[in-house]
Amino acid sequence: MGGIGVVMAALDISQLRFMIVEDNPFMQRVLKQLLRSYNVRLMREASDGAEAFKLLEAFPPDIILVDWEMMPLSGLDFIKLVRTSDESPDRFVPIIMVTAYSEAANIRAARDAGVTEYLVKPVSAVNLFSRIKRIIEKPRPFVECPTFFGPDRRRREDKNFGGPERRVSEPQHPH
């Protein structure tokens, strides 16, 4: 094959465990098929945020793919639950929001809920894998403050910034 013009390091992600949280049967199949194409074998599906949250204990995923619009618990509320609930089995699990919402307000809301990556549908083999790859190769530190818990929302580092570090503490590792 002639290649698709996307240079990516060849990562073997076959040992990663994925959870797909999507209520649309077609999109659920698309995501499953793409993950299988990436040689992923360990995956579970849930049709809404509540079902997914219950499943987290029995199937702790390495990465979660979540849709936004679902009933009874939306993808956005699911992310908030994972990040802030005392009952959350893993508050740090990387979460990719996969949604048709492309407006800036939606992206901001997802970021403020604690999403790790944001992918606007339509989904393709390349754009989904690029988000997974970014999680693996460029993990972001988490930030904890009274109003937020999640991946650092200031993704870009200012290389020219010469001022003092404004956060109170240095990075810490969770217990």
Name the one range near another protein by CB under 8 A: 44-52, 60-68, 76-84, 155-163: 60-68
As measured in angstroms, the least distance from the Cβ of 173 to another protein is 6
With CB under 8 A as the rule, give the number of residues binding another protein: 66
Say which amino acid occupies 132.
I
Q: Which two tokens stand for residue 56?
A: 């987290």
Instruction: Write the binding mask 106 to 145 for another protein: x where contact by CB under 8 A, - elsewhere.
Output: ---------------xxxxxx--x-----xxx-x-xxxxx
Does an H or E element contain 117, and which?
A: strand 117-120
| 152 is a site residue for another protein (CB under 8 A) | yes
Q: Per the omega criterion (within 30 degrees of 0), is the bond before 60 cis?
A: no
Opening angle at CA 35, ends 102 and 115, nearest 5: 40
As measured in angstroms, the least distance from the Cβ of 102 to another protein is 8
| 12 is a site residue for another protein (CB under 8 A) | yes
Report how far residue 171's alpha carbon sits from residue 130's, in angstroms, rounded to the nearest whole number. 26
| Residue among 25 and 85 whose Cβ is closer to another protein | 25
| Residue among 147 and 160 whose Cβ is closer to another protein | 147
Opening angle at CA 145, ends 144 and 148, nearest 5: 80
Cβ atoms within 10 Å of 19's Cβ, excluding its own:
22
Phi, psi angles (nearest 5°) of residue 12? -95, 110
Does an H or E element contain 145, and which?
A: strand 142-145
As measured in angstroms, the least distance from the Cβ of 46 to another protein is 17
Interface residues with another protein (CB under 8 A)?
1, 3-4, 6-16, 24-27, 29-30, 33-34, 37-39, 62-63, 67, 69, 92, 94, 99-102, 121-126, 129, 135-137, 139, 141-148, 152-154, 166-174
